[in-house]
């Protein structure tokens, strides 16, 4: 399994009709170091711009790697390193994913994930490497001052959060079950 956060830029084949691409190709992903077995696809629709979902993850033994893409609209996608002992523990990386650029973000297990919608009626799809396990569902505060994510909020728009996301833990109160694997977090474009 890859332990690096990857910003994947699938090649698009453009002609007079539009374009065609392969968002997922097992052989290509294996060449990128992603040999994960994706077992479930998830999709969300956020009606309002400024909807914030996250920061989410599942704990062992049901930890999840994710492959995230935005199929309609635009998001700012964020990943936070929560691997105990990592020199980048508590740090974050982010990227804009949108329907036009077709970029995807690969989020290995051991990282928290969240996103902010930057347009109305934004749809996000993502593959995960384990099934949803309610007892292992966890998260961190989206606005934790220790993490200090610079969310690109739209002027005059307050973030819309679920009650669950409003009550997530702070990083300082989190005892991470994830261990550092020797690869510091960075955002690698492929």
Catalytic residues: 56, 126
Q: DSSP secondary structure string, 7-76?
A: EE----EEETTEEE--S--HHHHHHTT------EEEEEEE-STTBEEEEEEE-TTS---EEEEEEESEEE
Q: How far apart are CA 96 and CA 117, in angstroms?
A: 10
Contacts of 44 by beta carbon, 8 Å cutoff, 6+ apart: 53, 123, 124
- Nearest alpha-carbon partner for 115 in 145, 84, 73, 86: 73
Percent helix, percent strand, percent coil in the chain, to nearest 5: 10, 40, 50
Q: How far apart are CA 3 and CA 109, in angstroms?
A: 8
3-state SS class at 171: helix
């Amino acid at each position: 399994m890859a332990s690096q956060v990857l910003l994947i830029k699938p090649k698009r084949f453009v002609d007079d009709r539009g374009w065609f691409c392969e968002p997922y190709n097992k052989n290509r992903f294996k060449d990128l170091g992603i040999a994960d077995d994706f077992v479930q696809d998830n999709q969300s629709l956020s009606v309002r711009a400024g909807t914030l979902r996250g920061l989410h993850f599942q704990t062992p033994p049901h930890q999840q790697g994710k492959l995230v893409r935005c199929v309609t609209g635009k998001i700012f996608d964020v990943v936070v390193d929560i691997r105990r002992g990592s020199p980048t523990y508590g740090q974050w990386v982010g990227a804009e994913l949108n329907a036009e650029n077709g970029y995807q973000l690969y989020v290995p297990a051991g990282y928290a994930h969240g996103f902010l919608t930057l347009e109305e009626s934004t749809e996000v799809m993502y593959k995960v490497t384990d099934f949803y396990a309610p007892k292992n569902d966890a998260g961190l505060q989206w606005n934790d001052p220790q993490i200090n994510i610079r969310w690109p909020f739209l002027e005059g728009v307050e973030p819309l959060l679920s009650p669950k996301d409003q009550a997530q833990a702070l990083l300082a109160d989190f005892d991470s079950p994830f261990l550092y694997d020797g690869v510091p977090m960075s955002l690698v474009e492929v």
